[in-house]
Structure 1
Amino acid sequence: MSAASGVENATDQTEGARPMAYPRPARAWYMVSLLTIAYVVSFVDRNILGLLIDPIKADLELSDFQIGLLLGPAFAIFYATMGLPLGYLADRKRRTWIVAAGITLWSAATALSGLARNFGQLFVARMSVGVGEATLSPCAMSLISDSYPEERRGKPIAFYSSAISLGMGLASLLGAAVLAWVGSGNTIDWPLLGPLAGWQTAFLVVGLPGVVLGALFLFVREPQRIDTAAGGHLGHMFAHVARHGAVFATFLSVFCVMTIIAYSHGWLAVTFARTWGWSVEEFALANGIALVIVGPLSVNLAGALSDRFTSRGHRDAPMRIALYGLALGVPPCVIGPLLDNAWAAFSLLTLGNAGLAFVTATSVTALLPIAPPRIRAQVVAFYYMAISLAGLMLGPTLVGALNDMVFGVDGVRYSVALLPLLFGGPVLALAPVTLRLYRRALEQDIGETG
């Protein structure tokens, strides 16, 4: 099927913007569902490493700092930086095919992580996962924004965002199942590959099925683009962000805190093992169940509230919900790791995750009204680049560095507790300023006028 025939309601691309014929709801939700499944798979592939830290450390003789590099910068280097050129491409080319290529790449790279024999090979595999996953969200948000009017985007975007909690939860559950099956220290014989350790098997099991999902996107129809004028260049996007620098700086700070905390929680399995004596399998099972239940409920509630208040004329509703979520999420993430009782700590951290899910759910819904249509995918890509660089470079890496240099390996809980206090406190203090600037941007309609 040609690219032209796959674009629903395709029309002359030279006429400029005109009234939009959105896809039928069933077709739009089918596409959103597939994108959400892909996002779930991406988070499973991304987060499985956090459950396998100790066996990987033992087999490859790595330090906590090197593990921090694998959890953060190895993935972030290309996940963040490739988003911009891919966003530029998504504003011009067939987005579903870009997604198909990305899923195939990151799935194959996840499987190949299980064949790594040293730090360098695993680092390269993690970088490749980052390249593949960088294709998804810029294309997904562009596709969703072309499938729903502004007052109806909250629910589909929240549904898509629920994949974060689902993916992290499923990564925990699958990791627990695989480790219980083969044991983190045992080996299993694979045809052609020979004996592989439990952590290597985990990578293969979660990575290979994604290749099939990638193929499905070759047959997904694209919605008609809202603005059929030629997409703007990266220079136009940077000029737009710079022209409204205060708005974007305060806006991004909220969501950077969310990712810093979220990615630092890649150390939670180790934290519960070193502090309260839980096995990785025990933590993975409890965490997986909590995330699968609490995460989707939180993000879909946030999305429904966003649509409800936006339809009543409160265009700042997505941003307000994100700020309330951050205020709910930061304190439990500071206090939880410091408690003496493991279940009390786990409960508070689950509450913190619920708050962070509210932040996640409305993030792009809040972004789209301040992003002009012709550079929308590029603005979304810039957003993901900024929050990913902050989260992945600072979150897991600082925890590993603090473990090695300040608190010691058995003091990991103090490292995990310090980050939300250090980064979340100042951003919460600036919340009134952030909301005021955002409202002004909506009043000036910078998403249409630039």
Structure 2
Amino acid sequence: MDTDLISRRLSALAHDHRVPGAQLAVSHAGETWHREVNLTPGAAVPIGSITKTCTATVAMALVSDGDLELDAPLGDHLPEAPDALTLRHLLSHTGGLPSDQEDVRATSLRRYVRETVRSLDPLHRPGAGFSYSNIGYVLVGHLIEIATGMTWWEAMEEVLLRPLGLRAHFTVGRDTDRSIASGHAVNAATGRVVPVRQSLAVVDAPAGALAASASDLVAFGRMLAGGEPHLVSASDLALMRTPVDDAEPFGMADGWGLGLALYERDGSTWVGHDGTADGTSCHLRIDPESGTVVALTTTGSTGFALWRDLVGDLSDAGLPVADYDPLRGMALPIPPPRDCAGHFRNGDTEYRVRPAGEEVLELTVDGEPFADLSLFDNLVFAMRDSDTGDTSQTGRFLRDPRGGGIEWIQIGGRLARRQVREMA
């Protein structure tokens, strides 16, 4: 592994993408290496949705101990939960739950579940598809509270962080850490970089409230690869890394296990998760075969683009990390079918698709311009961001297997279901 090349490229990419700070840590061939740009090695950065993998690991530790069951109806513990929903569904985002809910006023997971879950409009029956859901992980967090008798914050520290030898850093809740690194909104067009505050709701903590350094994430990743401490049984760790049937996270990853995304490269499969908080972008990749772990934290909203560029540099330096290629398999452009147009909804979020020419569709989200869509085979589309012009993201339309009409749109792994049929 050419660490000099990696160091140079990390510094150059942080400058090019105007990322204020970054940490890169690697565990490879029995050695651990790290490099920082304008951050100390131990600085805790809000890791966003990588928190979900931590929440899933605590849940799986409880499964290994016999305190929770993967396929028992959630109603055994949560009477408010929809029929047939299980912990396996929640961990793999196959429960059919919406992603988020606006105007959340509850201040505890228990109250949120009691007041909200019964009124959710499901996207599909449990187990019938994949739709990334923060709400699902709020339910997992509350299930952990019921099983342990502790708050999610306490369980995270006692079951996971302390055994790993890591200090707990939370962005929300009673133990909020004010010393965590600040995220920054970066305007790539103007070069303006502005610090931002974390805005996560307290009840969303199990989905995104942790902060950690890249070295912390590497320690976590080594455990998920089978290293010490052995908090989850070997068989349950293998389940976390095994693709779940019907979990197709198009636009996010090549597959999904239990709390872990799957990424394919040259016949090998890596696992991990990406996380975006306010003004931060963080990435964790684990090769279970070799035990190699790579973690990147950044304190800029353009950190995701930095990561995409860095993956190629890591390969050039002798570390071929797997990542998701959103443009893989796109071949022939096609004219949009007439039934692509319409209103689609995921929870409180409304997507509207309408023609913007013979070969282009316009997508708005909650009434605001979001992207232009160019359609390819299999109803997959490339997206051109309305604000930045970025063309690296993809999505797709999905037909109802019973009637054949387009019933869903999937963007960023999230499904939105058709509400009103329109003629193009």
TM interval, shorter chain, is: under 0.3
| More strand as a share of residues | 2
TM-score, L = length of structure 2 = 0.25
| More helix as a share of residues | 1
TM-score, L = length of structure 1 = 0.24
